[in-house]
Every structure is written in structure tokens, then in C-alpha cells.
Structure 1
Amino acid sequence: MAGVAPTTQSTPANEQVTAKNFTGPLIIVTLLFFMWGFITCMNDILIPKLQQVFVLQHWQAMLIQTAFFGAYFFISLLYFIFSVTKGDPIMKIGYKNGIIVGLVVAAVGCTLFYPAADMQSYGFFLMALFVLASGITILQIAANPYVTILGPASSAASRLNMTQALNSFGTTIAPLIGGYLIFETVNTVAAAGAESVKMPYLGLAATLIVIAILIKLAKLPHVKGEGRIIPDSGALKYRHLVLGIVCIFMYVGGEVAIGSTLINFFKLPQIAGLTEAEGGHYLAFFWGGAMIGRFFGAVALADFKNNNTKYLIIGAITAIVFTLMFTVYGQEEALIALGMIVVNFLVLLLGRFLPGRTLGFFATAVIVLLLITIFATGSVAMWSVIAIGLFNSIMFPTIFTLAIKGLGVHTSQGSSLLVMAIVGGAIIPPLQGYIADVTGNLQMSFIVPMLCYLYIVYYGFVGSKVEKVDPSAEV
């Protein structure tokens, strides 16, 4: 697609807001990151549940992720086409209104789980997931760049890591709450089949509507383009963005494939032989590791000249709490958790607090852990795959920040392209499921996400470097 042309007369959003203090708005927007983290991780509970109800093969159950993350692609594609032909809609209506639209659409999707359960229709569930994810997609397009512009550009990666840490808190508690509501309470009620998902998702719908009302009433900075917004595809002129789009595809695909497989992986007799409910508890530690890693990432990538040392205190406290959580399972588990955190922090130091370099080393660590997961057995394989959560931690926010760096007025458009790339979560998991079905070896299927992380290594060390762009050049 050829770029049409001239640059817009809009003032870059970064330059509109850097002089103000946006701690309050950041706290409010962080609620969004928590909610979509919680909702996304509920898919990992739905997969084994609906696999039981509808007697599905691995690849068929993974269609849950295809429906969910497929929405990211289609909605973002529509957004991009609209922005190229008519102008960026988020820049026109403002980030706040974009966030409210996303919340309402997501709430509608959650509500559709009720008739899906009544009809006992797997296809209807997939449709409900698509609608739900469409709302989350709009939230991602609006909220991610909004966080990066609420403060100095020098600490954008740190802010996005901090908000993503709260996103990971949502993914951490979702397996515990969702696993209890969907797996453990189903035997105590008259519900049968998939009906145990009704109340959890109706509760999510109500929560999303309440947050939409709070956002509407809150005094958030109204950031949007000033002057005439000229439709073009200028974001595609940036090489580091194009490579970043591929990187987001690979990262989300790899992360979702691993997370979606964990409960079934923990059930394997040669690994741990856990039940679905027990596996849900350890899945929470996988996502809890991502939360801890993001707090550390916020510290490592912070601009300390702007007094972000508070992140260090928050990260340290959270790491202690995370370690104490493992004491519920025993002293050995607590020591393992502490050891993982120490290794994670050492890799952060190896990255020298440089986003690209840190990303490259983290992806390298995941590749090593996946090799252990594939070829080891028992607790070694189990804890290796759980440790991947710690190293996944900083990847999405860091890739995102690196990819939109220097885009100026094309930041929102670049964001929609990056969110479109989240479709990797729709494609890679079924591929891993297919490999598991064909080979009859769930462990060997982890080679699929390992290939994804090889590309992330390349992007971190090489592909993320920003090259100067000629504004008049065509794509």
C-alpha cells in the first residue's frame, strides 16, 4: 500500500501532555489493564472446560484462542483501513471515548456467554469470545499509546511495564478465581455442561459497565489530534515498526500457546499428574511470574531522573509476596520461586537497562527454558515452563514501546497495526495443538513457541533499532 503523502498538521500527543502530572489518570487507566488481563487468562480455564464438555481434540479446543485473538486482527484491520481512508478515529474522538466504546463492546461479549451456555453450542461460545475480544481490541488500541503519552517519553517503557504488571495481576488471579468458579463449584450446583460459565461472565460484564461509567465520570486528559488529520499509511514507513508488528505476532502467539497448554501439560503423568483445578493454581504462578517480572522491568527501564524509584519499592514488596505465596505449597517451592526471581533480576542486569538488549536476553532465556521443558520430565520440566512467565514479563510492553518510538502523529495508527499483530494468539496455539495431536507428544509441541522466541531475540538485538525516515517516502 502506497503512502499518500504529507505529514499531518497535528501536534504529537507526547508534546501535549508531558508538562503535567498524570498519576491519577494512570491509576484509573491501570484498571483497564487489570481487567483485560483477567479476561484474557480466563481463556486458559475455558479451554480444558469446554474441551471436556464438547469432547474436543487439542487443536479444536485451541479455537477458543483463534476466536479471541482473531478479533484483534479483524478489528485492528478495520481500524487501520478507516484511518488510511478517513483519518485516525482515536485521534478524532479522543482516547477516553475510545476506551469507553471498548468497555461496552466487551461487556456485550461477556453477556453472550449466557445464551451460549443455554444452547450448549461451541460455535456460539466462539462468537461470544469474538465479540468480547473486539472490545478488548479497541481498549488496547486506545489505552496502550495513552499510557505512553501520559508523561515523559524517556520513561514511556517504564510506565507501560508498570501498567502491564497490573495486567499480569489480572492474569495471576484469573486461574484461581476462574478455576474455582468453573471447575470446583460446578459439582455443587444444578448446572450441567457449560452452564458453570454463566455467572462468572455475567459478573465480568457488570464490572466492565461499572468501569465504563467511572471512566466517563473521571477527569482524564482529553488527548487527540489538533488541526487537520490527513489520512495516510505513514506508519508503515518505519522499519522498526514493521519488524515490531512481526515481533508482537510471534510474542503473543508464543505466550498464548504456552499458557493455553499448561493445564494439560501439568496433567501428564511424566510431569506432575495434576487435576485441572490443581493445574489452575500453578498456572496462576506462571502468570504471577509475569507480574513480578514486569515490576522489575518497570524499575530497570525507568527514568530515575523523574523519581521513579518508587517502582523499586513496589517491585521488592511484590517479589516478597510472590515468594511467600509459594510457602503454601512448601518450603522447596518457595526456594524455587526465589531462585527464579534472582535469575530474572540477573538477566535484567545483563541487559544494562536498555530495552532492546534486555528484550533480546529475556527471549534467549525463554528458549533455554523451553528446551528444558521439551527434554526434561517431572518437576524440572514443570518449573522450567512456569519460570517462562518471569521472562515473558517485559516483552509485550517493551516490544510495543520500541515499535512506536518516534512515530509522532502516526503513533495511534502504529498502535492499531501492533494490536492487529496480536492475531498471533489465534494462529500459533492451534498450530501447537495440531503438532501435539499428530505426534501424540504434548512436550515436543513446545518447539512451536520456541521458534517464535528466536525471532524475538533478533528484534531485541537488531530489528528494534530506529532508522531515520524520509517523510516524503512511499511505503
Structure 2
Amino acid sequence: MSKNKYLFPFIMITSLFFMWGFVHNLDPVLIPHLKRSFSLSTLQASLVDSAVFIAYFVMALPAGFLLKKYGYKKGIIIGLAFFALGSFLFIPAANTQLYVFFLGALFIIACGLTILETAANPYASLLGPPETATFRLNFAQTFNGLAAAMAPIIGVRVILIKGLSDEELSTMTESAKQLALASEASSVKTPYLILGSIILVIAVIFLFLKLPEIKEEEDIKAEKTGILHALRHKHLSWAVAAQFFYVGAQVCVFSFFILYATDVAGISQKSAGDYAGGVGLAFLLGRVLGTFLMKFVKAELLLTIYSLINVLLCIVAITAGGTLALFTVIGIAFFMSIMFPTIFSLGIKDLGSDTKLGSSLIIMSIVGGAVLPPAMGYISDVTHNIQTGYIVPLICFVVVFMFGLKGHKVIKSVKYE
């Protein structure tokens, strides 16, 4: 009876993991698409990531307050409303041909995703018996990985339409060229209209869906503490830094993959999109295998080994060419798959009354996804070589390596008054 009671709500919560994974992994397709449509530099195109991850930083704490005041169900509906609104705004963005309009639409989508991610994780773990909570959360997260594999493959076929060649564009007048590029840019309207409509349907279902409201006990001691108090835990400070650099590395690898593949391997954007699906699949398989290995290997040791492997793979990604370079980046995705949850869990270990605030600080540190991709874009523009830009994720994985090696260690001298 209890299982049947929670089955449909859990299916709906799991659908959220898939939807935000899908829209996130359309960004690697949007970047080359908008780069061409607006004749952008790599740095300017990387602002797609900045618009998304700045929203996570801005909305992290408001999302928590929103859920605390209105509850998880209303929070999910509000998050879905932002998600749908941002998707529909792609239509006027394409009509007006303003790049900043696209960035604004992505920012609004990401504001909705921040609320959804803040709400969906506890719900996935609480919809059922406590003893199977970890399994439910990991099961839900696999659909995020599935979306990461599917989105680029679908995205290149519905967004990256084959337009005029660069040679053909060069022979056209400026006004004719802009008209042709505007027509190409309009290819985003239908997929995002469909996406927004699906999200609205999901929101309506949640509106009528009976979800158990989560009542959390107030931690009076935690209310008396603040950010500086929490950051006295050195392993938390390390975790915030490690997560900042890890998320930056992940976004760099995923978002620039199609540009990297077409430039380094000389393949078409469609083929690059298929390889990008392989990147998502490798990420999914890496998380499944990594979770299994943690039954036998300490999480911090596995994190240290994986991050060191990725430092070496980044060196290959900078120097290699052709198919070897593509499979190297797919390998990076495999080995970075365990990093976000592992850094998170090690960072909040033994925080006592600072646990909730520590969790919020680690979530806010994903702003690294807004800061570091432009750095990679700038290096790529200056050197005229996107491979050189892999210096950025290389440095990021060095920081994660240091966290796994020693930064995760809990120093017991901190008092929990």
C-alpha cells in the first residue's frame, strides 16, 4: 500500500531529474549555434554558461527560503513555472535577434532549475522507506545521466540545422548575411516551445498531485551560527574551493565539446553531437561504476585517483589530435562523474550544527560554472586554439586532487558551540 502510494509521486520527481539534465546538456549545442548566428568569439559564446550558473549562485539561498516558507510542492511548481517561462522566451529572443535576450532566457530557466534541484533531492530520498533512501536518490540521478547522453544527440538534429557555408556567407551582402543567420537562429524556437509546453504539463500534474509535505526540525543551534563560523571547518573551506573548480571543469568539458571536436578532429557538428552523447553516457557509466567501487575503496582515495587521472588526460587533450583527442575527453567525463557528490559528502562530514549552512555554501560554489568557462574561452581566443584552453580544467582537477589528498581531512580542534 505504502509503495503504491509513493510510486507515482516518485516517478514525477524522477522526471524532474531528467528534465533539468536534458536542458543543461542542450547548452553545448547552443554554444556553437549562437556563436555562428551572432558571429561571437569563444569567450562571448561561453556567456551561455555564465548566465546559467550565475543564476544558481543568485538563487541558492532564496530557493531555500522559498521552500521553507511555502513548502516543497509549491516550490516545485514555482520552479517549473520559471523553467517554462524561460523556455518560451526563446521565441521572442529568436525573433528580436538579440544575444542578450537569449542569455536572459537561460538565466530565468536556471533560476527555476535551482529551485527544482533544491526541492527534488530531499523528495527523492524521502518518498519511501528510510533504508532505501540512498538507492532512490541514486536511481533518480541516473535519469540525469541518461538526459546528458540523449540531449546532445537530439539537440544537434533539431537546433544545428545545416545552413549556408562560410564561403557562401562571405559572398553575400551584410544585410543578406544577417538575414540568413537570423533564419538559422530561429531553429531554437520549436524545440524550446515543445520543452516549455512539456514543463507546463508537468507543473499542472504537480498542482493536482498529493505530495507528503516534509516537516524538518528546526536546528536552534544552527540559527546562532553564520558563514564565518561554518568556514572555520577547514575541510568545508577546501570543499567549497574544490566544488567551485570541479563544476567549472565539468562545464568547460561539456559545453565546449562540440567546438573542440569539430576543430581538433575535423568532424561535422552532427557527428560531434553524437560524440557528445558519448560524453554523457561515459559520465553516467562512470557514476554507476564509481558508486559500486566505493563499497571497496574509500571515497577520498577514489577521488584522489580519479582527479590525478584527469590531470593526465587533460595533458593529452591539449596535445593530441583526431579520434584520440575525442576519446580522451570522453575519458575525462568518465573519471569526473563521481566528483560532485563525493566532494559534497566529504565537505559536510562532521559539521555538527553547521551542516545545513555548509551544504548551502557548497551548492553556491557551483558558480565556478559561470566563472571558469569564460576563462577557457578567453585562452582559446587569444591562442586561436581551443585545445590550449584545456589548461583551465587541468588546473581545476589539480585542486580537486589536493582536496582528495589532504583537504578533506577533518580537523577536530574546531569547537561546536
Residue 98 of structure 1: CA displacement? 2.4
Q: What amino acid maps onto 2:261 in structure 1? A: F
> Which among 213, 217, 234 is matched to residue 222 of structure 1?
213
> Which among 455, 458, 472 is matched to residue 402 of structure 2?
458
- Output the CA distance in 2 between the equivalents of 1:358 and 1:413: 26
Q: Structure 1 367/163 Cα, relative in aligned 2: closer, same or farther at 3 Å?
A: farther
Does the 8 Å CA contact 2:93/2:102 hold for their aligned counterparts? Answer: yes
Q: Structure 1 31/415 Cα, relative in aligned 2: closer, same or farther at 3 Å?
A: farther
Q: What amino acid maps onto 1:120 in structure 2? A: Q
Partner of 2:267, secondary structure, is coil
TM-score between both structures, scaled by the size of structure 2: 0.85
Bigger shift: 170-179 or 218-227?
A: 218-227
User: Could you say which residue in structure 2 is the equivalent of 1:389?
Assistant: 333
User: Could you say which residue in structure 2 is the equivalent of 1:193?
Assistant: 184
User: Could you say which residue in structure 2 is the equivalent of 1:363?
Assistant: 307
Does the 8 Å CA contact 1:140/1:419 hold for their aligned counterparts? Answer: no
- Output the CA distance in 2 between the equivalents of 1:233 and 1:150: 30
Partner of 1:67, secondary structure, is helix
> Which among 273, 276, 288 is matched to residue 281 of structure 2?
288
> Which among 202, 205, 217 is matched to residue 193 of structure 2?
202
1:255 aligns with 2:250: yes
Residue 46 of structure 1: CA displacement? 0.5
Q: Structure 1 153/370 Cα, relative in aligned 2: closer, same or farther at 3 Å?
A: farther
Q: How many residues align?
A: 393
Does the 8 Å CA contact 1:359/1:394 hold for their aligned counterparts? Answer: yes
TM-score between both structures, scaled by the size of structure 1: 0.75
1:377 aligns with 2:321: yes
> Which among 140, 155, 166 is matched to residue 143 of structure 2?
166
User: Could you say which residue in structure 2 is the equivalent of 1:7?
Assistant: none
* Percent identity between the two aligned chains: 42
- Output the CA distance in 2 between the equivalents of 1:457 and 1:135: 32
Does the 8 Å CA contact 1:90/1:224 hold for their aligned counterparts? Answer: no
- Output the CA distance in 1 between the equivalents of 2:133 and 2:335: 20
Does the 8 Å CA contact 2:145/2:283 hold for their aligned counterparts? Answer: yes
Residue 377 of structure 1: CA displacement? 1.8
Q: Structure 1 47/234 Cα, relative in aligned 2: closer, same or farther at 3 Å?
A: same
Residue 25 of structure 1: CA displacement? 5.0
Bigger shift: 449-458 or 358-367?
A: 358-367
1:429 aligns with 2:362: no
User: Could you say which residue in structure 1 is the equivalent of 2:271?
Assistant: 278
User: Could you say which residue in structure 2 is the equivalent of 1:48?
Assistant: 32
1:140 aligns with 2:131: no
- Output the CA distance in 1 between the equivalents of 2:219 and 2:34: 49
Partner of 1:265, secondary structure, is helix
Residue 423 of structure 1: CA displacement? 1.1
Residue 385 of structure 1: CA displacement? 1.0
- Output the CA distance in 1 between the equivalents of 2:348 and 2:135: 14
- Output the CA distance in 1 between the equivalents of 2:138 and 2:342: 7
- Output the CA distance in 1 between the equivalents of 2:408 and 2:76: 28
- Output the CA distance in 2 between the equivalents of 1:226 and 1:171: 35
Does the 8 Å CA contact 2:20/2:113 hold for their aligned counterparts? Answer: yes
Residue ranges of structure 1 left out of the alignment (5+ in a row) = 1-20, 303-351
User: Could you say which residue in structure 1 is the equivalent of 2:239?
Assistant: 244
Q: What amino acid maps onto 1:471 in structure 2? A: Y
Q: Aligned runs of 1:402-421 on 2, under 5 Å?
A: 402-406=346-350, 411-421=355-365
Residue 185 of structure 1: CA displacement? 7.3
Does the 8 Å CA contact 2:353/2:416 hold for their aligned counterparts? Answer: no
Residue 263 of structure 1: CA displacement? 1.1
1:354-390 CA-to-partner distances (Å, cap 9, x unmatched) read 2222222221121121111112222222211111121
User: Could you say which residue in structure 2 is the equivalent of 1:33?
Assistant: 17
